[in-house]
Amino acid sequence: MVVCSNQDCLQGLAGALHYQLTVALNGLSIVCYALLWLFLKVKNNLETKNARKVFKSILAVMLANLFGQTLSGTVRLLLSVLSVSPAQQSIVLMCMGHFTTLIQAHNMPILYIFRWCCAI
């Protein structure tokens, strides 16, 4: 069985550096969401219905991205601790990559749902 994935291009030090850069960029996006959340909270004091909707949608997006990144990092850490063959690691990490992409691609549906369905 031959499995080719995009992570096969980056192995060893390059793969570790790429993963650390990805974690840093995802962490930076969470910081940006948190700053936007804080700005909205201070500026609008969450008095209007729309401000509360935006506040909740940003919180949901931030938590989902944090969940996806934490889950991916946990699986990667567990695979390095357990004695798993490189082929099995590749398959699991490829599946986790798809799962993480799906989690991070949910921003538009969350914003749409909170725009129309979550009136307070």
pLDDT in tens, 9-51: 666 777 778 778 877 887 888 788 778 778 877 776 656 777 7
| DSSP 8-state secondary structure symbol assigned to residue 9 | G
How many Cβ atoms are within 10 Å of 38's Cβ, its own excluded?
Answer: 10
Q: Which residues contact 34 (CB under 8 A, 6 or more apart)?
A: 62
Residue 6 and residue 34 in contact, taking contact as beta carbons nearer than 8 Å:
no
Over range 53-76, report the average pLDDT.
79
For residues 7 and 88, the model is more confident at 88
pLDDT score of 6 more than 60: no
Q: Which amino acid is at 45?
A: N
Per-residue pLDDT of 72-106, as tens digits, reads 778 877 887 888 887 788 788 778 777 777 877 87
The confidence score (pLDDT) of residue 8 equals 60
Over range 101-117, report the average pLDDT.
75
Give the Cα separation of 12 and 113 in Å (integer).
41
